Structure 1
Amino acid sequence: MSLTAGTKLGPYEIQSPLAAGGMGEVYKARDTRLDRTVAIKILPSHLSENPEAKQRFDREARTISSLNHPNICTLHDVGEQGDVGYLVMEFLEGETLAERLRKGPLPVDQVLKNGIEICEGLEKAHRSGVVHRDLKPGNIMLTKMGAKLMDFGLAKASQAGATATSGLTATLTTPPGGHPLTAQGVVVGTFQYMSPEQVEGQEADARSDIFALGAVLYEMATGKRAFEGKTVASAMAAVLERDPAPIFSLQPMAPAALDSTVKTCLDKDPDERWQTAHDVKLQLRQITVGRLQPGVIGSTTVGLAAAPRKQNRPYLRWAAIALIAAAAAAAGYFAHVSHPAPPVWGGLNVTGELGEEGSFVLSSDGRQLAYVAADPQGRLLIWVRKLDSPRGLQLEGTSGAEYPFWSADGRSVGFFADGKLKRIEADGQNLQTVRDAPNGRGGTWNRDGLIVFTPNAVGGIAKVSAAGGTAVPITQTGESMNHRFPHFLPDGHHFLFTQAYGKRGQDGIYMGSTESPEFKLISAGASSNAAYASGYLLLVRDGKLLAQPFDSRRLQLTGAPSLVSDGVRTAFDRRVADFSVAQNGTLVFLSAMAGGQRLVWFDREGKELGVAVPDIGNPTSGLLVGTLSPSGERVAVARSRGTGSDIWMYSLQTALGTRLTFTDDFNESPVWSPDSNNIVFTRNLTDHYELRLKSVFGASEERMLVKSTGNTLATAWSRDRRFIFYAGDVFGANGKAQGVVLDMEGGSHKAMVATPSQGNVFGGSFSPDTKWVAYLSDETGRLEVYVTSFPNHLGKWQLSTGGADGALGTIWTGTGPQTEVVFRDLQSHLISVPVREQGGSLSPGAPRVLLGGRSLASSRFTDLTRDGKRILAGLPQENASTPLTLLLNWTKNLKR
């Protein structure tokens, strides 16, 4: 049926038609609940009674609902009215790639930019087990926010053993700008973009999408289809037998490396193509960043080779690259060749889920990688991998490790765990505790056996002998400032570090000395740690990895920064980014879009009850990534997008996500109102922080509740709706961050100190009757959990004894006289402490480990239902691996 303007489908009002094809009709509509524009897709009338078409329509809904990514069109809702089933999707303003190609080929820089974005979307689909099978220009939308993949109606799961689609099952779509290739019963897809194995009716896997990607990239660069044919037979023959003309023969200014990359995508043998979209993305990035000379057929392009025939093992490709790199480094290749080789891009899939940002580091000689990743039991341990080996060595005794760093000789690894600074040899021997470090934030180790480190989340930097002993302070800070992530310069005395949480304009990269408390600003406005290698200072700003010439003798910058890569994963709240550099020209970093988590229900004993949301994208890290609504029907999550983050809401009934914030800033720490209709969250802007209130149904405009020059994070809203607990903004006389309560009664928004403490306070929660407040404080030198009465703070009880993990804060659940406070310990176990009020005093019970002792070290989301009977945890995707990007000889094309 065709829909007319004004037609209602549930809460959606049709406004106008957008597009129509053989398998669907798309309309522009208005969501009357959220007052937003959406796109509605329905089956055309001639297929409404076709069971196979309905099955495909349902499959598209299930497929898109499992994919949350900036380069994939978002599915908001599904519905049925009468005999009309419909999908409610993100309304995209822009034009399809097919429409754009009618105007001619795209400029090379746009081919590379959009090509990388298409790869990002495909990579997400493939990592989620979905093969698109119909990638073509008509299914790619170009928007102001980048390229987005659409129409997953032909997609299928890529699990081993899935039945191949063989056959004459769908109608060939009309190529854009061309004439229909009419035929009754043709293979699934569109011939000009189908792989040879699809044309032959064989099973399609992710490599079939790589072939289609190559055909799309070819057409973007040349304005011509890679495979033409006036009839179905001739189109099939072109795909099966012929190779397209070289790109540079049609576009002389195109880089020869682009032609090589596309040719590998279009290989007739799936085993000879790039094996993943991640591989193709690396090649396009190499061309973009390397600024390769255009139009020279003989240009040398060193890249990651396509997989050997009959081998689809990422670690084998890595091992080959790593062996070459190690051999070259051992021979002093990078230092002595008269004509330096161009950059070489490669990939490394780390088995298991990496820890939070700052979890991996290269040894100084570039031969080894130390990283923190989850083992099969969910424990976060240190692994050490030699770059000429496909596997890492698990170092026992390092459970709960954070922020690893190498000794200068590459024989030992320093790290933080259990409130201590520790060290262990790279072969797993001789584990030692060096010094207390209640909440460590990075270290560096020089040739003289001196470790410079940050012992606490707030405060200055100290030094200690690697053999142990007394820690001597080096730098001092004021207010809530922190000096963190030190990195020795070549002289072994001066070091770089990051200053965070100071007054605006004071944050940035500084340089200190082991011999003096004085320090000076090197680079303002950085949002990460810094490192030095090969004559460059490296740091991340707004998600972009930058390299700036730095004279290590004169200790000053000597040139402008150059872009190495964008979209590097960064924890802005902790000022640490995922990159590491060695002195031999080796660089490793992690994309902001890598990973992804799912939400899983558990009972208190640890029995898995089911997956609530298959994919919540890439949650941010740090305190309070997301929360479960009091109604138990929805969750709010802060999702990273590389250069910022947004708040998303997911329905636990449909698993569908809705984006709630639409700014370029960091939107973090969503907290639900007691009626589940609003959230309060933090927005980090250029010169200040804001605590903001927003309706999740779009019924009202956002409101700013608090404006502060210091970090401001809300963690709880009292059940009586009156108080919001947040940390930051107001500081005690001792310069420490205090827990603050915002009184919402009468709209006064009065702020009051809620937690008396000599330390920093955050992560607060209210008891169900709002008579008590639980919170975290580091007043003893490490984080512990406390409870005090509210609002008078009469009395104080310590609930934890072995330290607490600041990533969760506190959660107060239950009703009546028997309630409980839940938190995470330093081993990432979920701990429950029952509390009972007796005569105006509090009586804590014995702590109990929940989830059967399961570690939540790799979880970025944890919450409990209001009654405390079920636990919702974010877990890595099944069989997860984390793809790191390796870049050799990375300085070759940088400006000095």
Structure 2
Amino acid sequence: MTLNAGTLLGRYEIRAHLGTGGMGEVYLAQDTQLERTVALKILPPEFATDQQRMQRFVQEARAASALNHPNIITIHEIGQADATHFIATEFIDGVTLRQHMQGVRLSLLEALEVAVQVSGALTAAHQAGVIHRDIKPENIMLRTDGYVKVLDFGLAKPTGSGAASIDTEAQTKMLVNTSPGMIMGTVSYMSPEQTRGLALDGRTDIWSLGVSLYEMLTGRVPFTGETTSDVIVAVLDREPPPLSEYLTDVPAELQRIVRKSLRKDKEERYQTIKDMLVDLRSLKQELEFEAKLERTAAPGFRSGDFVQRTSGQREHAASATEREIVAETESVTPVRNTAGTEAHAGASQSKRNRWLAFSLIGALLVAGLGFTAYKLFWHKSGAAEVAHFQTIRLSRLTSTGRSVMSGISPDGKYVAHIVSDGTQRSLWIRQVASTRNVQLVAPAESNYFGVTFSQDSGSVYYVRGERNQPVKQLYQISVLGGEPKKVLTDIDSGITFSPDGARFVFLRFTPGAERETDLMIANTDGTGEQKLATRRAPDAWFFPSWSPDGKTIALASINAKLNWKVTIVEVQVADGQEKMLGSKMWLDVFQLAWLRDGSGLLLLAPADDAPDSLQIWLVDKQGGQVRRVTNDLNNYVSLSVTADSKTIATVHQDKVSNIWVAPNADAARARQVTQGSGWGYGLAWTPDGRVVYSSNASGKTNIWMMNADGTEPKQLTDLPGTNLHPAVSPDGRTLVFVSDRDAEGVHIWKMNPDGSNLTQLTRDKKESFPQFSPDGRWIVYESWDSGRPTVWKISIDGGQPVQLTNKFSKMAVVSPDGKLIACSYWTEQPGSPFVLALIPFDGGEPVKTLTLPNTAVRWSSDGR
């Protein structure tokens, strides 16, 4: 039976015929009630009396509808109109994997991307107790936006808790005796136990995915034969040709993954699809990182070898002008965020579906590829002038992952690095010439930073801060291990040594009314503290670096009068006088390091047109000229240099963030609704259950809106600068967000939900983290105008803002009844901890404090 355009099946209007599947015809249709496009799979009337076909038809709908995952087709309804049975599903704008391959093999990264998304879908299915049992290219669709969808759960069956097996002998016999067109396609992807009609578990899907991955890579299935019986014999008895027979330079890890998924004994196969997913994702991230280095590094760079430039004579690897960068590379698998970064969770105000959303961002979303070394040539046209880097060589040093900061010893023999496992941090060291990492300091729920070696390379200094405690300590430990020794207390930066190694300099932030940044000098044992210079709030210094001649200390200087831009300054050691080094005003600066001859400074900073990516730069001391050392899409978050300036140590971090949605109070059922990086800057629910979020997916950070399942993303702002931290009014008519589009500061703006009627609300120097009051009349936010955050509020109509706190307080959220504000709070008394404070909505002293981590919070819907 063929349905013509315009035919109505219940509330569905047929638009076009899409194709024919094993269970019937598939049509494009319009849901006339919900006004959405759907796909209708229709069981022919002659099959309606076939009990087996009807059972499979219903089973498909029930199996798929029980799953809720972005990589699994969404079932809207199973219905009947007169004598016609149908399933209404989401319409997938794309092609099947079979159509996409068309007899050719995919690239490594393309095949891995498909395999990762399919294994993600199967992980969700298996956790729900559902085995697919028919994974093959015909049942995998590729959407035009990059999403992969797993289709056709007609052979799937629930397994209860997920551990029970399924007797499939009858089902196997049915498949083997079906029409020739379906036999070959299905049997070729069957696991050995499935072809033999044995009990099945999730490992049969692992086999089928392995076969599909093999075919994506090679353009052919691993088990072939002229007849169905021949194929079954091959599946049971023969080993597939190795990938290297069809591919050149195939990664050994990829061969291992495919081999393990195609073990004939299921006990030797991957035991869970999640294990396979972890391996696939890790390999994909490693290949992506290597490809990105090849593609985006400066001209003349190539991973693993030297590329000679055409200017001048060829130079040898042993050249005395050779320079090296050691980089800890970080690539991420989305995991839940913890200390050191900010995670936002918001409960939906929609009564229809109460969900919890997670925005996962920041430095701890990492599963690293390891330290990586670059060899660099640079030429000098004069004694003090350093020209651009010319050639880079990459060689990997470690594969520990999870490192968030590193430092290299002056002699270049050691690299110390801080490792985070999410809740704890530890300090490790390795000899550059070896492959062994040694733990110096055991894991603890503390924040470690400021890794620095002594001038003789015999000790490692680091700063340790306890959770919720603002006062930090400096420790020293031998590179050979032993007990850490506390050197001094009350330090707020890493240290940098004088050229003779007898003293070091550091920063100390003074709380209270003064709110000063003091530049301090002390002996290497922590004695003899003296204040060299002071910077008063709202201005501040960061990242001191002592010059090789011992005369000056370079610092990053943030200045409120310069719209919070950062400049590089030098403070004279003799008298504390300050002068600017160059005229460049940076968006931000992270860490400084002098070159050995004092001719320039290396620093970490973002480019003006790429605020989310820190690069390594070189600032010339004499003329202040700025040159890029790295010019790629990576993000470098740590910087240190050897005494001879031949080696730089830096941490490369590749941040990946996604939005996840889960039933309220049931985070275990969280599902990912976005793909890739760029969703790390706040999110909010609308009253009708949509998500407003900030994303740099378009290249600039703007405000977006999408459905709760990740569909129909819409960009709301197209503004210069950075736009983030959105909030939605209770009636859904107004959105507020933070933007630095105004040249005079970072302010809060409001607009309509469609992006129209853009209006600036605040006009101080720097405001952030806006939140609506429950009645929608007020915006509560934090202001940095005084040099540290305090909580304020302003009418949604604008006007004069009202200060609510006069102590260090941030990340304020209003209670559901509008009576209280919860915020992170510090009394600014030395030694006092950060607490969660509850203050009256009209401001004043806290009415209650709670000892909680210094992080963002949300009220529960009942305000309790």
TM-score by length of 2: 0.61
Tell me which residue corresponds to 2:711. 659
The amino acid of 1:113's aligned partner reads L
Does the 8 Å contact 1:133/1:208 carry over to 2?
yes
How large is the RMSD of aligned CA atoms in angstroms?
5.8
Distance 1:413 1:168, change over 3 A: farther
1:389-538 → structure 2 map (5 Å cutoff):
395-396=443-444, 398=446, 401=447, 411-414=460-463, 423=474, 474-476=555-557, 478-481=562-565, 482-486=587-591, 488=593, 491=596, 496-500=602-606, 502=608, 509=615, 511=617, 518=624, 520-522=626-628, 523=630, 528-529=635-636
Tell me which residue corresponds to 2:99. 99
Cα displacement (A) at 1:761: 0.9
Structure 2: unaligned runs, 5 residues or longer: 292-317, 320-328, 342-361, 365-402, 430-434, 511-515, 532-540, 545-553, 566-586, 827-831
Tell me which residue corresponds to 2:760. 751
Tell me which residue corresponds to 1:151. 151
Cα displacement (A) at 1:241: 0.8
> CA offsets per residue over residues 499-550 of structure 1, 9 Å max, x none?
3484789986353679899572415685733667999xxxxxxxxxxxxxxx
Cα displacement (A) at 1:741: 4.7
Cα displacement (A) at 1:721: 7.0
Cα displacement (A) at 1:242: 0.7
Confirm or deny that 1:764 pairs with 2:821.
Answer: no
Cα displacement (A) at 1:115: 1.5
**What secondary structure is seen at the aligned counterpart in 1 of 2:114?**
helix
Tell me which residue corresponds to 1:835. 840
Tell me which residue corresponds to 2:425. 382
The amino acid of 2:425's aligned partner reads I
Does the 8 Å contact 2:660/2:674 carry over to 1?
yes
**What secondary structure is seen at the aligned counterpart in 2 of 1:28?**
strand
Give the distance between the partners of 1:277 and 1:648, measured in 2 at CA: 29
Does the 8 Å contact 2:683/2:694 carry over to 1?
yes
Distance 1:510 1:134, change over 3 A: same
Does the 8 Å contact 1:788/1:797 carry over to 2?
no
Cα displacement (A) at 1:167: 1.5
Does the 8 Å contact 2:767/2:784 carry over to 1?
yes
Tell me which residue corresponds to 2:66. 62
Does the 8 Å contact 1:452/1:462 carry over to 2?
yes
Confirm or deny that 1:88 pairs with 2:195.
Answer: no
Distance 1:831 1:787, change over 3 A: farther
> CA offsets per residue over residues 43-97 of structure 1, 9 Å max, x none?
664569845652442221223x1x23xxx35538556566956353252323x23
Cα displacement (A) at 1:627: 1.6
Does the 8 Å contact 1:444/1:487 carry over to 2?
no
The amino acid of 1:725's aligned partner reads V
Tell me which residue corresponds to 2:723. 712
Cα displacement (A) at 1:638: 5.7
> CA offsets per residue over residues 274-325 of structure 1, 9 Å max, x none?
652443455577778879xxxxxxxxxxxxxxxxxxxxxxxxxxxxxxxxxx
Confirm or deny that 1:787 pairs with 2:822.
Answer: no
Does the 8 Å contact 2:619/2:626 carry over to 1?
no
**What secondary structure is seen at the aligned counterpart in 2 of 1:821?**
strand
Cα displacement (A) at 1:100: 4.6
Does the 8 Å contact 2:590/2:605 carry over to 1?
no
Cα displacement (A) at 1:834: 5.4
**What secondary structure is seen at the aligned counterpart in 2 of 1:727?**
strand
Give the distance between the partners of 2:104 and 2:16, measured in 1 at CA: 30
Give the distance between the partners of 1:283 and 1:3, measured in 2 at CA: 47
Tell me which residue corresponds to 2:804. 797
Tell me which residue corresponds to 2:685. 628
Distance 1:122 1:421, change over 3 A: farther
Distance 1:143 1:727, change over 3 A: closer
Does the 8 Å contact 1:5/1:14 carry over to 2?
yes
Tell me which residue corresponds to 2:300. none
Give the distance between the partners of 2:43 and 2:109, measured in 1 at CA: 33
The amino acid of 2:721's aligned partner reads G
Does the 8 Å contact 1:510/1:519 carry over to 2?
no
1:142-541 → structure 2 map (5 Å cutoff):
142=142, 144-146=144-146, 148-151=148-151, 153=153, 154=155, 162-168=163-169, 170=171, 179-181=181-183, 190-200=186-196, 208-247=204-243, 251=246, 255=250, 262-270=258-266, 272=268, 276-280=276-280, 356=341, 357-359=362-364, 360-361=403-404, 363=406, 364=408, 370-374=418-422, 380-384=423-427, 395-396=443-444, 398=446, 401=447, 411-414=460-463, 423=474, 474-476=555-557, 478-481=562-565, 482-486=587-591, 488=593, 491=596, 496-500=602-606, 502=608, 509=615, 511=617, 518=624, 520-522=626-628, 523=630, 528-529=635-636
Tell me which residue corresponds to 2:373. none
The amino acid of 1:601's aligned partner reads N
Give the distance between the partners of 1:622 and 1:462, measured in 2 at CA: 37
Distance 1:174 1:648, change over 3 A: farther
Tell me which residue corresponds to 1:14. 14
Does the 8 Å contact 2:748/2:762 carry over to 1?
yes
Does the 8 Å contact 1:489/1:532 carry over to 2?
no
TM-score by length of 1: 0.59
- Equivalent position to 1:738, from 731, 734, 747: 747
Give the distance between the partners of 1:283 and 1:532, measured in 2 at CA: 27
> CA offsets per residue over residues 320-377 of structure 1, 9 Å max, x none?
xxxxxxxxxxxxxx99xxxxxxxxx999999985654223336547877633344xxx
**What secondary structure is seen at the aligned counterpart in 2 of 1:181?**
helix
> CA offsets per residue over residues 709-766 of structure 1, 9 Å max, x none?
332336334457776433334658xx54233455999976443436x5xx52111234
Give the distance between the partners of 1:745 and 1:229, measured in 2 at CA: 58
Cα displacement (A) at 1:138: 1.3
Moved more, 525-534 or 266-275: 525-534
Aligned positions, number: 671
The amino acid of 1:499's aligned partner reads A
Distance 1:36 1:829, change over 3 A: farther
Does the 8 Å contact 1:140/1:147 carry over to 2?
no
Does the 8 Å contact 1:11/1:32 carry over to 2?
yes
The amino acid of 2:746's aligned partner reads A
Distance 1:358 1:413, change over 3 A: farther
Does the 8 Å contact 1:279/1:347 carry over to 2?
no
Does the 8 Å contact 1:503/1:709 carry over to 2?
no
**What secondary structure is seen at the aligned counterpart in 2 of 1:483?**
coil
Give the distance between the partners of 1:845 and 1:475, measured in 2 at CA: 35
Give the distance between the partners of 2:35 and 2:623, measured in 1 at CA: 56
The amino acid of 1:118's aligned partner reads V
1:638-717 → structure 2 map (5 Å cutoff):
649=706, 657-661=709-713, 692=716, 708-713=719-724, 715-717=726-728
**What secondary structure is seen at the aligned counterpart in 1 of 2:27?**
strand
Give the distance between the partners of 2:92 and 2:222, measured in 1 at CA: 30
Distance 1:412 1:650, change over 3 A: farther
**What secondary structure is seen at the aligned counterpart in 2 of 1:798?**
coil
Cα displacement (A) at 1:243: 1.5
Does the 8 Å contact 2:809/2:825 carry over to 1?
yes
Moved more, 478-487 or 497-506: 497-506
Does the 8 Å contact 2:772/2:779 carry over to 1?
yes
Give the distance between the partners of 1:152 and 1:405, measured in 2 at CA: 54
Cα displacement (A) at 1:272: 4.8
Cα displacement (A) at 1:776: 0.8
Give the distance between the partners of 1:746 and 1:489, measured in 2 at CA: 46
**What secondary structure is seen at the aligned counterpart in 2 of 1:793?**
coil
Who wins on radius of gyration, i.e. which is larger? 2
Confirm or deny that 1:136 pairs with 2:101.
Answer: no
Does the 8 Å contact 2:214/2:222 carry over to 1?
yes
Structure 1: unaligned runs, 5 residues or longer: 183-188, 292-333, 336-344, 375-379, 536-550, 556-579, 583-587, 603-608, 652-656, 663-682, 684-691, 693-703, 870-896
**What secondary structure is seen at the aligned counterpart in 1 of 2:107?**
helix
Distance 1:589 1:197, change over 3 A: farther
Higher RCO (C-alpha under 8 Å, 6+ residues apart) = 1
Give the distance between the partners of 2:694 and 2:149, measured in 1 at CA: 23
